[in-house]
Structure 1
Amino acid sequence: MDLVREPAAKGTATDTRRARPAAGPGAHSPALRALAHRVSAATGDELPALLDAFWQDVEAHGGTPLVEPVEGDPRHRAVTFLWRGHRATRRVLLLANRLVDRERLADALLTHLPGTDVWYRTLRLRADHRASYRLAADLSPGDLPADPGARQSRLRALVPHAAHDPRNPRRLGDRWGQPDSSVFALPDAPAQPWAERRDGIPRGRVERHRLPAGALGAERDVWTYLPPGGPRPDSPVVVLCDGDMWFGRLALEDTLDALAADRAVPPPVVLAPDAVDRLTRWHDLTAHDDYVTFLADEVLPWAAGRLSLAPRPARTAVAGQSLGGLTSLYAVLRRPDRFGAALAQSPSLWWRPGLPHGVPKLAPADEAPWLAERFAADAANGADAADTAVGADATGASGTPCPPLRVHLDVGLHEGSMVDHSRCMYETLAARGHLVSLREYNGGHDYACWRGGIAEGLVNLLGRTGASRPRA
């Protein structure tokens, strides 16, 4: 199986990195223009029926957001987010993943169509975009403060009240008391053929276990996915960060069942520890050696004994998103004797030692990520991957050199400097002789994208030659 850099769809990586949504002039909705024209010509008696007909038409066409062609530009769409307000609605805030600047929330407010219950905001987006979003309506009286700082503070207070779009049936769960988000995918967005639950296929089994305190100093819940028919001694093993999200909220078992049914991968056993909470997650998933020890020397041996597995590094992958992606790369760096492959989606390569929880991601795009430097330093101090593995323990349990790592990187083109950091990591790993692939998609730091990308990554790392692939 070849692991190579995959250029982004619909153009080169450089072209797609420059693509940004445009709001305001140049991003107009034909439907909203037509509505505004009809409203201006309607009498007071005609207006309620006209607005009811508009909202019924929105629902009949699949709900929100509205997706319309951009005249003369087939590569983009006019995407209009809508809110049906009432007399008390003062403003509506759009929180779309990586499409709004959280430091300039006034720019993310919807516009009120005068004399109606319609609030709207139209963005011009490339036709392969996918994202999640939330909306927050403000009913508090009074205008926004004129002072920019006070206005930003007032709008920031709305953020915790944002929730899914009631007119969009496509939802994405969250955890730790956060509300669901809504999801949109434009017509050319990459297919996610394994993301949804399928009827009529064999089902795997999801269990939740509590492991005793060890390297982490506290008990930890671990989710397990056992493939249809049960595990085999030679089943590939995937250790996945954020089990409480993937199995507690996103039903990853449906994706794994579909992959097995299509024979896209040898059915894996998945071991997925809970993240617990934000502070624990930050502590565990920021290149924390005790957490790598927990995965390598506690979770894997526990599963091997309980499930009669014989995990080998060549068939054991570690996977994660964001800080979990950082952790997956750090785990293969430190313990290639346990983990021979890594799936890192939107890895937080901006992180470096000494950053406390909550500090902004300050590493600029042209600064080599700390973890890439760690891989490069190991290369400078030793042989290539073809001769020996990287990390604290460069050899396997038998004392023999470990083979090159297999790594799949995944990053969204709206993730700013994280795109450049992922490219740097790709080049560093490739130069060292590891088998590495990089996929760049048109989206953000978003489970709406990761839930399709995790399947693609597993196929890339574990897939069989000749695997069937469902039609988009």
Structure 2
Amino acid sequence: MSVTTGVYAADAAPRRIAGPVPLVERAAARAAEAGEAGRAAVLEEFWTEAARRGTPLVEALDDDPDHCAVTFLWRGHRATRQVLLLAEGLTDPDDLAASLLSPLPGTDIWHLTHRLRADHRGSYRMAADISPGPPPASAELLRRRLLSLSAHAAPDPLNLRRTPGRPPDRDTSVFALPQAPARSWTGRRGGVPRGRVERHRLPAGVLGVERDVWAYLPPGGADSRLPVLVLHDGDLWFGRLAFQDTLDALVADGAVPPLAVLAPDAVDRATRDRELAAPESQVRFLADELLPWAAGRWPLTTDPAHTLVAGQGLAGLASLHAAFLRPDRFGTVLAQSAPVSRLDAGAVPSAAVRLDVGLREKEILDHHRDLYETLRSHGCPVTLNAYNGGHDWACWRACLAEGLVGLLGH
């Protein structure tokens, strides 16, 4: 039973830094010294260097080695009226105006700097307002303008690190500060044996519709019945995030035993929200249809102690329900950023539980703390991992591999 230390540390709170940071300030000074004739060349040099380094720009703080100055940049032009940053865990959806970048007079540089603890990881998108005329003076009209603008946000063109979203969502840009936990098993690694990924369609059952399921089988076959991970949102994890590469690396390193993964598609956002809002039906599908179907095809364990269920957001809540309602099938659960306030914890499971949650998730963080204390007081083996980030696939990818090692590793 454990909890990550420093879960509620105040020093993890982001803080906007007023005015340009040294890198931007030097560019402004050089542009001013160069005059009209040389300004364009100075600014071109600045943007070339920004593209080479990649954005956001990260600068050390001389008086604070545990924090960094993180500067988001946008290259504006004559028609640019305002630029909005939409960053998970940094942008307040109720106060979008607080996430507007500032123009640097006499240049095409728009900038916004946050002081962030050096273990922060997150994703973001940006949107430039090129509407004719100045921005609205009224706070309410400005709020509406920015809300409309946010629908057109896109990845940062100067940041090549991306994470995909479920269509129709756009990709998002990703950044990780120097002390962010390493993503040791993310990405395809050369020279390791490859597992097999298959896609199957289950007949209509308790959900009332057929359902596609991704199946990962480890390389080299199995000498005995394989432990099983049931992972929600298979269309994202295997269809877009290439989670099989992470699994191959984990198995090759011996960080987890060879395992099978069953990952049902979420289909689309509306279907996902509707089905996960009815956890009893979802749990019946997983426990009474998916697992028996898979056990009839491959040498998989039926021992709940070696059967793990995992998910993010609403799928994390459904995973907790699975462990609470069907301990005969699920003995381990990994729930990431789940809305746990909706969970009836009256019947505490005997399952081993890992809870992942972001420090930037406000109320949901407190709810995870309360659930952790409730489970711990009932003797449930439970871990609470609070990472420095938000409600964010960029964070969940890193934490999922770490969680599998903690729950399944030797």
TM-score of the two chains, using structure 2 as the length reference: 0.97
Cross-structure match for 1:157: 148
Give the match for residue 254 of structure 1.
245
Q: Say which is worse superposed, 34-43 or 47-56, in terms of deviation.
A: 34-43
State which of 347, 353, 366 in structure 2 corresponds to 1:378.
Answer: 347
CA contact (8 A) 1:164 1:182 kept: yes
Offset of 1:370 from its aligned partner? 3.9
Structure 1: where are the runs of 5+ without partners?
350-368, 380-389, 391-403, 465-472
Q: Which residue, out of 18, 21, 38, partners 2:14? A: 21
Match for residue 40 of structure 2 among 48, 72, 86: 48
Deviation at 1:24, TM superposition (A): 3.5
Alignment of 1:222-233 (within 5 A): 222-231=213-222, 233=224
- Report what 1:334 is aligned to: 325
- AA aligned opposite 2:357: V
Structure 2 residue 366 is matched with structure 1 residue 420? yes
- Partner residue, 1:469: none
Q: 1:90 aligns with which of 78, 81, 85?
A: 81
Partner residue of 1:271? 262
Report matched runs for 1:285-364 at 5 Å.
Answer: 285-349=276-340
> Are 1:446 and 2:392 matched, yes or no?
yes
The secondary structure found in structure 2 opposite 1:378 is coil
Confirm whether residue 125 of structure 1 aligns to residue 116 of structure 2: yes
Deviations 1:27-83 (A, max 9, x none): 7511011112222222111011101111122223x2111000123111111100111
Conserved in 1, the CA contact under 8 Å of 2:308 and 2:331? yes
Do the aligned residues in 2 keep the contact of 1:231 with 1:269 (CA within 8 Å)? no
Q: What CA distance in whole angstroms lies between the structure 2 residues aligned with 1:198 and 1:125?
A: 31
- 2:121–2:389 contact (8 Å) kept in structure 1: yes
Q: How much identity, in percent, do the aligned residues show?
A: 56
How many aligned positions are there?
Answer: 410
Query: Which residue identity lines up with residue 312 of structure 2 in the other structure?
Result: Q
Q: Which residue of 1 aligns with 2:3?
A: 6
Amino acid at match of 1:156: L
Aligned Cα root-mean-square deviation (Å): 1.4
Q: Tell me the equivalent position of 2:356.
A: 410
Q: 2:225 aligns with which of 223, 228, 234?
A: 234
Cα shift at 1:196: 1.7
Q: Is the 8 A contact 2:89 2:391 kept in 1?
A: yes
Within a 5 Å distance, the mapping from 1:147-186 to structure 2 comes to 147-186=138-177
The answer as to whether partners of 1:232 and 1:309 remain within 8 angstroms in 2 is no
1:197 lines up with 2:194 in the alignment: no
Q: TM-score if structure 1 supplies the norm length?
A: 0.84
Alignment correspondent of 1:358: none
TM-fit CA distance, 1:231:
4.5
Q: Secondary structure at the match of 1:448?
A: helix
Within 1, Cα distance between the matches of 2:67 and 2:40?
Answer: 33
Tell me the amino acid that sits aligned with residue 15 of structure 2. A
Q: Deviations over 1:422-455 (max 9, x none)?
A: 1111111112222111111111111111101001
Q: Is the 8 A contact 1:28 1:78 kept in 2?
A: no
Aligned partner of 2:7: which letter? A
Contact 1:234–1:310 under 8 Å retained in 2:
yes
For residue 386 of structure 2, give the secondary structure of its aligned residue in structure 1. strand
Instruction: Using the TM superposition, name which of 125-134 and 80-89 deviates more.
Output: 80-89
Q: Distance in 2 between matches of 1:121 and 1:19?
A: 18
Check whether the contact 2:8–2:359 (CA below 8 A) recurs between aligned residues: no
Matched-pair contact (CA < 8 Å) for 2:86–2:125: yes
Code of the aligned partner of 1:462: L
CA distance in 1, matches of 2:127, 2:90: 16
1:86–1:5 distance in 2 versus 1, CA, 3 Å: same
Q: What residue in structure 2 maps to residue 455 of structure 1?
A: 401
Q: CA deviation at 1:135?
A: 0.8
Residues 1:435 and 2:381 are matched in the alignment:
yes
Which secondary structure state, in structure 2, belongs to the residue aligned with residue 81 of structure 1?
A: strand
Match of 1:208 in 2: 199
Deviation at 1:116, TM superposition (A): 1.6
- Report what 1:393 is aligned to: none
Indicate if the aligned counterparts of 1:286 and 1:323 stay in contact, CA closer than 8 A.
yes
Equivalent residue of 1:53, what SS?
Answer: helix
- Quote the Cα distance in structure 1 between the aligned partners of 2:299 and 2:187: 30
Aligned partner of residue 36 in structure 2, secondary structure: coil
SS at match of 2:327: coil
State the alpha-carbon separation in 2 of the partners of residues 272 and 119 from structure 1: 42
SS in 2 for 1:45: helix
Q: Give, in angstroms, the shift of residue 232 of structure 1.
A: 5.1
Distance (whole Å) between structure 2 residues aligned to residue 113 and residue 52 of structure 1: 15
Question: Which SS does the other structure have where 2:255 is aligned?
Answer: coil
Structure 2: how far apart are the matches of 1:226 and 1:206?
A: 7
1:143 and 1:267 mapped to 2: Cα distance? 60
Letter in 1 for 2:130: L
Residues of 1 paired with 2:251 and 2:347: CA distance?
37
Contact 1:238 1:268 in 2 (8 A): yes
SS at match of 2:154: coil
Deviation at 1:233, TM superposition (A): 4.4
CA distance in 2, matches of 1:233, 1:160: 50
Q: Does 1:116 align with 2:107?
A: yes
CA shift, 1:287, in A, is 4.8
